[in-house]
Amino acid sequence: MIRDRRNFYELLWILFQRDPYRLANLWAAYRQTVDRRVGRVPGAMRVLICVGEPGCAWFRCIPQALELSEDPRFDVRVTTRPTREDFAWTDWVWLQRVKEPVALQAIERAIGMRKRTIYEVDDDFEHVPPSNPTHDYVQNGPAGVVRDALGMADIAAFSTAPLADVYEAERKVIWPNVVDPDMWPQLDGPRIDGLVFGFSGSPTHNEDLATVGWVIAELMAKYENVWFVHSGVWVGTIQLLVPHERVLQFGMDMGPAYLSRYTRMFDIGIAPLVDNAFNRSKSGLRLLEHSWCDVPTVASDLPPYSDTGIPCRLASTQEEWWRYLEELVVSSEARSELASASRGVVRDHWLISQNIWRWKDVILE
């Protein structure tokens, strides 16, 4: 029996590592837990969520599915392999970043069965930079699938307004990235005897980190108590991006509780972005995560971060990166004030419970 949402997240991580195709089984077990305390009303809206990319599902549809399932007006299924019975059962077919041609087939099947459809995406597949490791793969298939799926679906859902502007679609909605506290429990992380600059992101962010690598390395040379801790960047690349010996890496292949623990070991968060069309369509997810974990952050002065309203230091030049990072290195008071202010904004405005109405309004219309 699955005890609660936090327990579900931990089991989900194990499942995604071993056999993501059994997601439907795990969700069915969780529904039994929820249904013991939530009585579905007659005619509850049935929603079938088809997960296309587990790495993004953590913040694009899993928290939303959990929150919707707590409302008796909704009945939710989550799967990576929808069946004929799933399609017959549901009112809505929601495709989360399914980039293969099967997405178009699923939308066509749903239309033929008079089901309403949602296709959602959280990245700009039209403007992936040539330097991005996924560029060739995206251009050779997924970009066209995403474009066509957004045009076919009843609802085209996007993580940001700039991303929505990239695509043509009959009906667009903005479903922002938000924080589920159950996925980011308040757990103390390991500590280093010193201050920690922290960065997390997949290898697709190597170029972003490179824009501030020399600043980080020079500050570490100046202040012997400063370390750099990162996750996601290729090990063979990090010494080129941040050429210093006080560098540690932790993997992203860990459960939410561990990710929360390791993020909390950051004393100062770093969120750089190269200024290009692809990055300007992104969300401020990294700032949300850092802020929820009480980590003051210096970020690039670009819309993904500047438009959130979450307090942070916004840097446009190398000199500003140096000044803001050094300020936080030397002043514990500045770190504490910024961390408290940023967490307060996330707590008051960016939690899933405060934003689920955006999803409910669309599905119940």
**Amino acid letter at 180?**
D
Q: pLDDT band at 46, cuts 50/70/90?
A: very high
Measured CA to CA, the distance from residue 88 to residue 96 in angstroms comes to: 19
Question: Closest by alpha carbon to 197, among 212, 185, 208, 186?
Answer: 212
Show the domains of the chain with their CATH numbers.
5-178+352-364 (3.40.50), 195-349 (3.40.50.2000)
Crossing angle of helices 62-69 and 23-35, in 10° steps, is 30
Task: Give percent above pLDDT 70 in the chain.
Answer: 95
| Lookup result for tokens 């200024």 | 275
Q: How many CA atoms lie within 13 A of 72 on its CB side?
A: 7
Q: pLDDT band at 327, cuts 50/70/90?
A: very high
Is residue 67's pLDDT more than 70?
Answer: yes
Cβ distance 228 to 216 under 8 Å?
Answer: yes
Is residue 70's pLDDT more than 90?
Answer: yes
pLDDT confidence of residue 252:
59
Q: What is the pTM of this model?
A: 0.94
Q: What phi and psi, each to the nearest 5 degrees, are found at residue 114?
A: 60, 40
166-219 pLDDT, tens digit per residue, is 999 999 999 999 999 998 877 777 788 899 999 988 778 888 988 998 899 899
pLDDT confidence of residue 246:
87
Element (H or E) spanning 184, and its range?
none
Is residue 230's pLDDT more than 70?
Answer: yes
pLDDT confidence of residue 255:
62
Q: Please give the torsion angle defined by the CA atoms of residues 62, 159, 232 and 256, in that order, rounded to the nearest 10 degrees.
A: -30
Measured CA to CA, the distance from residue 64 to residue 74 in angstroms comes to: 11
Measured CA to CA, the distance from residue 27 to residue 249 in angstroms comes to: 32
pLDDT confidence of residue 263:
86
pLDDT confidence of residue 332:
97
CA gyration radius for the chain?
Answer: 21
Tokens read off for 25: 């089984």
Measured CA to CA, the distance from residue 149 to residue 154 in angstroms comes to: 10
pLDDT confidence of residue 22:
87
Quote the mean pLDDT of the chain: 91
Q: Tell me the three state secondary structure of residue 289.
A: helix
pLDDT confidence of residue 233:
66
250-274 pLDDT, tens digit per residue, is 765 556 666 777 888 899 999 999 9
Name 53's Cβ contacts closer than 8 Å, sequence gap at least 6.
96, 97, 98, 99
Name 4's Cβ contacts closer than 8 Å, sequence gap at least 6.
33, 182
Q: What phi and psi, each to the nearest 5 degrees, are found at residue 121?
A: -145, 150
Name 281's Cβ contacts closer than 8 Å, sequence gap at least 6.
123, 124, 127, 160, 162, 163, 166
Mean pLDDT of the 330-357 span = 98
- Cα dist from 215 to 104, 158, 211, 275, whole Å: 46, 34, 9, 18
Is residue 112's pLDDT more than 70?
Answer: yes
Measured CA to CA, the distance from residue 76 to residue 97 in angstroms comes to: 18
Q: Which of 149-158, 187-196, 308-317 has the lowest mean pLDDT?
A: 187-196
Q: pLDDT band at 164, cuts 50/70/90?
A: very high
Measured CA to CA, the distance from residue 360 to residue 140 in angstroms comes to: 35
Q: Which residue has the higher pLDDT, 16 or 159?
A: 159
